[in-house]
Chains A and B, each alone.
Chain A
Amino acid sequence: MQTPGEFELSRRGVLAGGAASVATAALVPIGAAAEAREAAAALPTAKVAFDVNGTAHELELDTRTSLLDALREHLKLTGTKKGCDHGQCGACTVIVDGRRINSCLTLAVMHDGDRITTIEGLGTPDKMHAMQDAFVEHDGYQCGYCTPGQICSAVAVLGEIKAGVPSHVTADLTAAPKVTAAEIRERMSGNICRCGAYSNIIDAITDVAGVKA
């Protein structure tokens, strides 16, 4: 008799681990699978070592692997999302050495020695980052798919303003930029939300920044 626990598959577990192995076992003829394995063995790989959320990782990857795919498919950190995979939507935003970037548009092997922070590294359900807390508080999402990217971006945006990075709406280039709703709107333009939760996202970020939207 099977225990109930064996049936308790999480959706996340299936998506992260199950799909690829099921496809290989069930759908690809055995000969073709062997050929695919041989071809894969001949593909160029490279080694890379980096720190993700405080944990050191060493990987040997197909050189084509984006940082996004390394995080999701190899390290199973599926909080970072793949939206457009072309740098247009911002769902894949992570923080590398303190800077937010599109993890879909960078090769994992180019990040040797880097320190990477993903949504999982900002906080946990039990101990949320202030920005995560504020998104919950202000209902800064609907479907949630863009949310990890929005939150990583938002955390970095406040850092950029503090560091004096100017934006398109900064009135005086020679003065320190201020934390205003207009500044945040402009700086968050690389994160698209198809549900249109923008006004609540601005409320969440301005709340964390301690200003009125």
Chain B
Amino acid sequence: MKSFTYERADTPAAATAAFARAPGARFIAGGTNLLDLMKLEIETPAHLIDVSRLALDKIEATKEGGLRIGAMVRNTDLASDARVRRDYGLLSRALVAGASGQLRNKATTAGNLLQRTRCPYFYDTNQPCNKRKPGSGCAAIGGFNRLHAVVGASEACIATHPSDMAVAMRAFDAAVETVDAAGKVRAIPLADFYRAPGTTPHLETVLAPGELITAVTLPKPVGGTHVYHKVRDRASYAFALISVGVIVQRDGTGRVALGGIGYKPWRVEAAEAELPRGAKAVASGLLAGAKTTHENAYKLPLVERTLAGVLAQAKG
């Protein structure tokens, strides 16, 4: 690991000011992904700003009837919150489908959104990777890419975003609240939060350097039956091959979001209109324009079949 200087920030303003003094610094909260990457010298910040003790660890009701989840709320606490379990069950289910108990105790809400891809070529510093080293090429294309993206990918990168939590948040139309060094706050719909890889896969989100996530907001509950189904190579503690999250109402309408198939949680609102017609019609809309590799074409039928199973389960 490269050496770095360290400071702890007590307020969001202090954290963003610290970044302004040390451009190239990184914020660290749970640290479970950043430290892993620092050990491999894939991330090499010269300065770390510890934001783990910011008073952003509360889950509060909003006046619109939803929830504001502080950036530092741990994954375990979010999954366990009584309001989340009752009104946003899909979120609780997605959270406990991810990582291990130890990691969920440390990982934060903001950090979960900002975790980086798990593409093995991104982690292997002996291989080219446009995300790790822009312009070096992509070893996954033509390599072992069974786990990789089937939608939204580019000639430069076919990595997938690994978060389960984000899939549920996308289904709930969550927004990401941020603050920058000038004190400017904004709310970014999660739908617009991740950047398509295009020719610049090293840029993963629309956050500006030094912009700090303070909360994630959920609109008021939408009711319905919630099911999250994660298909993976082992029954627990593995990343998704694909995952399907649904919210189904009594009249058969609803929402569908997918994980493990692209650079962001994948939701196509127009495809959801097909829900009364069944999984095949919805999947065909969700996966329109899909481009598979020699190893991951199985993901297309897997999405459709998993969706069919999940919809049957939701209807009881």
User: A: which residues have CB within 8 A of B?
Assistant: 43-44, 46, 62-64, 66, 85-87, 90, 93, 99-102, 105-107, 109-110, 112, 153, 156-157, 160, 163-168, 170, 173-174, 185-190
Hey, which chain A residues are within 8 Å of B235, CB to CB? 186, 189
CA distance in complex: A205, B25 (Å): 43
Q: Is the CB of A190 within 8 A of B3?
A: no
Residues of A near B100 (CB, < 8 A) are: 87, 90, 189-190
**Interchain CB contact under 8 A, B35 and A66:** yes
* Chain B: CB-nearest residue to A97: B105
Interface residues of B in 225-243 (CB under 8 A from A): 235-237
Q: A109-B6, A110-B28, A186-B236 are in contact. Are A63 and B48 (CB under 8 A)?
A: yes
B227 smallest CB distance to A (angstroms): 11
State whether B102 touches A165 (Cβ < 8 A).
Answer: no
Of chain A, the residue at the smallest CB distance from B76 is A165
Complexed CA–CA distance, A190 and B75 (Å)? 15
Which of the candidate stretches B88-96, B181-189, B198-206, B286-294 sits at the interface with the other chain?
B88-96
Is B126 positioned at the interface, with any CB of A under 8 Å from its CB?
no
15 residue pairs from A and B, CB less than 8 Å apart: A63-B48, A64-B4, A100-B101, A100-B102, A101-B105, A105-B35, A105-B106, A106-B106, A110-B28, A153-B101, A153-B102, A156-B101, A167-B101, A186-B235, A187-B101
- Most chain A beta carbons < 10 A, residue from B1, B6, B39, B101: B101
Number of interface residues of B (CB under 8 A): 35
Bound-state Cα–Cα, A85 to B36, Å: 8
With A110-B50, A160-B101, A170-B96 in contact, do A63 and B85 touch (Cβ < 8 Å)? Answer: no
B80/A165 in contact, CB under 8 A: yes
| Max count, chain B CB within 10 A of own CB: residue among A170, A173, A174 | A173
Question: What's the nearest-Cβ distance from chain A to residue B89, in Å?
Answer: 5
Q: Determine which of B3, B79, B236 lies in contact with A44 in the assembled complex, contact meaning CB atoms within 8 Å.
A: B3
A189 with B237: in contact, given A87-B102, A90-B102 (CB under 8 Å)?
yes
Assembled-state Cα–Cα distance A27/B93 (Å): 54
Question: Chain B residues with Cβ under 8 A from A44's Cβ?
Answer: 3-6
Q: Is the CB of B80 within 8 A of A157?
A: no
A189 to B235, CA, bound (A): 9
- Contact B101 A157, beta carbon cutoff 8 Å: yes
B106 to chain A, nearest CB (A): 5
Give the A-binding residues of B (Cβ under 8 A). 1, 3-6, 8, 28, 31-32, 35-36, 39, 48, 50, 52, 76, 79-80, 85-86, 89, 92-93, 96-97, 99-103, 105-106, 235-237
A192 to chain B, nearest CB (A): 9
Residues of chain B within 8 A (CB-CB) of A110 are 8, 28, 31, 50, 52
Task: Report the bound CA distance from A46 to B4 in whole Å.
Answer: 11
List chain A residues, Cβ under 8 A from B105: 99-101
CA distance A189 to B233 in the complex (A): 14
Given A190-B101, A190-B103, 13 further pairs, Cβ under 8 A: A46-B6, A90-B100, A90-B102, A102-B102, A105-B36, A105-B103, A107-B35, A109-B6, A167-B101, A168-B96, A174-B85, A186-B235, A187-B101
CA separation between A112 and B36, bound complex, in Å? 21
Asked if A165 and B103 make an inter-chain contact with CB atoms under 8 angstroms apart, the answer reads no
Question: Closest chain B residue to A100 by CB distance?
Answer: B102
Taking the closest CB of chain B, its distance from the CB of A179, in whole angstroms, is 15
B102 touches A101 (CB 8 A): yes
Q: Is the CB of A101 within 8 A of B106?
A: yes
Given contacts A100-B101, A102-B106, contact A189 B236 (CB under 8 A): yes
Residues of B close to A166: CB separation below 8 A:
79-80, 85, 92, 96
